[in-house]
Amino acid sequence: MSSSSSRRRAPHTAQRPATQRTTAHRRTAAVALAGVAALIAAAVQSGAASAAPAKPQAGKMNAAHVAARLTPSQRVELIRHADATRAATARSLGLGAQEKLVVKDVVKDGDGTLHTRYERTYAGLPVLGGDLVVDTRSGKTMDVIKATGATLKVAGLTPAVSKAAAEKQAVQRAKARGGSKPAADSVRKVIWAASGKPVLAYETVVGGLQDDGTPNQLHVITDATTGKKLYEYQGIETGIGNTQYSGQVNLTTTQSGSSYTLTDGARGGHKTYNLDHGTDGTGTLFSQSNDTWGDGTTSNAATAGSDAHYGAQETWDFYKDTFGRSGIRNDGVGAYSRVHYGDSYVNAFWDDGCFCMTYGDGSGNQDPLTSLDVAGHEMSHGVTSNTAGLNYSDESGGLNEATSDIMGTGVEFYANNASDPGDYLIGEKININGDGTPLRYMDKPSKDGNSADSWYSGVGNLDVHYSSGVANHFFYLLSEGSGAKTINGVSYDSPTADGLPVTGIGRDKALQIWYRALTTKFTSTTDYAAARTGTLAAAGELYGTSSNEYNAVQDAWAGVAVGSRSGGGTGGGSTYESNTQVAIPDNGPAVTSDITVSGRSGKAPSNLQVSVDITHTWRGDLVIDLVGPSGKAYRLKNFSSSDSAHDVKQTYTVNASAEQANGTWKLRVQDQATYDTGTINDWKLTFP
């Protein structure tokens, strides 16, 4: 990240050719969706053009855009083919000679479209924030979604800062967060591309334990030239559920001779182990001479084991039956569970390193955190890691946590267990607070005293469990709508940021939209603005851009202060929107995004509202104009060499009374200095 005191500014001089459409971001990136431009182009107001390739029946998913249910061998073959052609793919994308692609996963749609997710290397070094998704059909590239739009190039590969200095910084950061380990587990050179201009950096991982006993896996990114800390995140992804036992359930176990074990041969060989209050290794596989596990009390160690085992099998079945996903990695291989971790450990966590879930026994070892929604929550961290890989910090970290809450809630409703009916409460059965209140509320997240109901500019600074409130609230509104209602005996009353009602489309459809966005639209750096873009694209593909489902996604996001509504603003106003992304080249020619307004009479108002959402490092580079149908330009933002802040997310008021309301309006943006690029994510016109 550059600073205003050291950065040399270069005025706009040469007209560079426009670069390939991509994205740029600050901490997090906006998702580029060229291939679905026809699905989400122009405006959401009646009269805007729409060109979805296949119009689904109202309320029904478009089968062409549903992920095909692949066998493990079919998936392996797709990955093998993608790996064999990755060099050609890199060339077709215009990647540099030192860049190489590494295949992470492939999703195949019903119409044959392939969504191939790649990581990147540069000169043999891992590129953090360099992940991308390439959509192809019949061998033709339809879309490229990148975590960064910055050109991948660094001045040199020889660090000016020593590895020891980077390690010292990371260890100090770990100590500040409660860690006690005196040395790092690993230090490696990387290219950091997740924010601003890519730089040579160190990634240092510090292990040990956090202050509450949770394993530590703090990742600290240090600029290898300046020694500045660029980023940090916790690699152990935690989540707290409830201690509700699921009653008498059927478990899939394995018999060997006269013994039974908690081994699920029907679900990838998932095993459940007893740590017996240890903190290392796998512990002991639950094994006994009969096939009846636990007695419903904490005095029997197998009770927690059976709850965890049941949660794992229900989560596996939920993903398979709902999305056609075969296990966390979609490869048919099971993870494993560990229960009775530590002494009075009040938490549960997912760890990519062991590919396992771990559960503590709660305060006084009396409340094991082995409930159904906890299992769903923890396994979903694994799914996120193996798909979008959302960074566990800032807004992307909130989306990561919310994804686990959303999917954990989906698991609870899916299981349809009378002992634990589905609800939109997280941790409602655990007594951490001493009063039996839930840990999180999806209908109104702020009821927990910490979580955000709606987006605001500093929401990414919250703990990820609290910034998740924005997406949790969105999901509740999309599923159930706003206002007071009772579901499965639980009363909810969900507000909206703009005070307008939202009509839900049902949880099943909301889950399909979120999962498709997670697996084909989100990247490691996706923020809330990009999540809105991704879920709109997913809804457009599944249900059509003129569907109630598509409009509901817009309205639910507006209900949490992310973007505008489908039918316009407040007070009877009408809003016209374009969320087709347009890349802003560095120090290049002006680019435009169009909105066509039709069906209105007379002149435009003297208080036309122009809302823009642009990601761009060093926003002072930008000059922004509104161009009316007459061709007259209205200046919204001037160039400023001293404005080093990121992004432009603002609403301007324009006296456009000289213009006819109907016609093509343009947002014109030009970067007039070197070093930074950006993206027009979304803009809208609101006629009061």
Q: In this predicted model, what pLDDT tens digit does every residue of 352-409 receive, in sequence order?
A: 889 999 999 988 898 888 888 888 998 999 999 999 999 999 999 999 999 999 999 9
Task: Give CA–CA dist 131/581, Å, rounded.
Answer: 18
Contact 115, 109 (CB under 8 A): yes
Residue 279: predicted pLDDT: 93
Q: In this predicted model, what pLDDT tens digit does every residue of 244-284 receive, in sequence order?
A: 447 888 888 888 778 889 999 889 999 999 999 999 999 99
Contact 256, 424 (CB under 8 A): no
* pLDDT (average), residues 233-252: 62
Residue 435: predicted pLDDT: 67
* Helix spans in 371-527 (H): 372-385, 394-415, 464-467, 469-480, 507-520
Does the active-site annotation cover 616?
no
Contact 591, 20 (CB under 8 A): no
Task: Give CA–CA dist 64/61, Å, rounded.
Answer: 9
Residue 256: predicted pLDDT: 77
Task: Give CA–CA dist 389/229, Å, rounded.
Answer: 21
Place of tokens 């956090």: 210
Contact 472, 440 (CB under 8 A): yes
Q: Which of 378, 480, 549, 577 is catalytic?
A: 378
Residue 56: predicted pLDDT: 56
Of all helices (H) and strands (E), which one includes residue 611?
A: strand 608-616
Confidence class of residue 189 from pLDDT cuts 50, 70 and 90?
very high
Q: Which of 115, 309, 377, 465 is catalytic?
A: 465
Residue 49: predicted pLDDT: 25
Confidence class of residue 452 from pLDDT cuts 50, 70 and 90?
very high
This prediction has a pTM of 0.69
Q: Find, among 537, 524, 613, the residue nearest to 142 by Cα.
A: 537
Amino acid letter, 599: G
Contacts with 497 (C-beta within 8 Å, 6 or more apart), sequence order: 453, 454, 455, 558, 559, 560, 561
Residue 284: predicted pLDDT: 97
Average predicted confidence (pLDDT) for the chain: 85
pLDDT at 563 over 60: yes
Task: Give CA–CA dist 48/517, Å, rounded.
Answer: 24
Question: Counting beta carbons within 10 angstroms of the beta carbon of residue 164, is it exposed (0 to 12), middle (13 to 18) or buried (19 or more)?
Answer: exposed
Residue 567: predicted pLDDT: 66
pLDDT at 571 over 80: no
Task: Give CA–CA dist 458/473, Å, rounded.
Answer: 17
Q: Find, among 490, 463, 459, 489, the residue nearest to 474 by Cα.
A: 459
Q: In this predicted model, what pLDDT tens digit does every residue of 518-528 receive, in sequence order?
A: 999 999 999 99
Residue 155: predicted pLDDT: 87
SS3 content of the chain, % helix, strand, coil (to 5): 25, 25, 50
* pLDDT (average), residues 42-48: 24
Torsion over CA of 192, 350, 446 and 368, rounded to 10 degrees? -160
Q: Find, among 411, 388, 386, the residue nearest to 399 by Cα.
A: 388
Amino acid letter, 341: Y
* pLDDT (average), residues 431-458: 86
The residue that leads in pLDDT, 14 or 92, is: 92
Confidence class of residue 573 from pLDDT cuts 50, 70 and 90?
low
Q: Which domains does the chain have, with CATH numbers?
A: 246-370 (3.10.170.10), 581-687 (2.60.120.260)
Contacts with 479 (C-beta within 8 Å, 6 or more apart), sequence order: 424, 504, 505, 506, 507, 510
- The tokens describing 588, both together, are 């290049």
The residue that leads in pLDDT, 437 or 123, is: 123
pLDDT at 23 over 70: no
Task: Give CA–CA dist 478/552, Å, rounded.
Answer: 6
Does the active-site annotation cover 541?
no
- Other C-beta atoms closer than 10 Å to the C-beta of 35 total 20
593 three-state secondary structure: strand
* pLDDT (average), residues 148-157: 89
Beta 490-494 vs 582-584: how paired, if at all?
unpaired
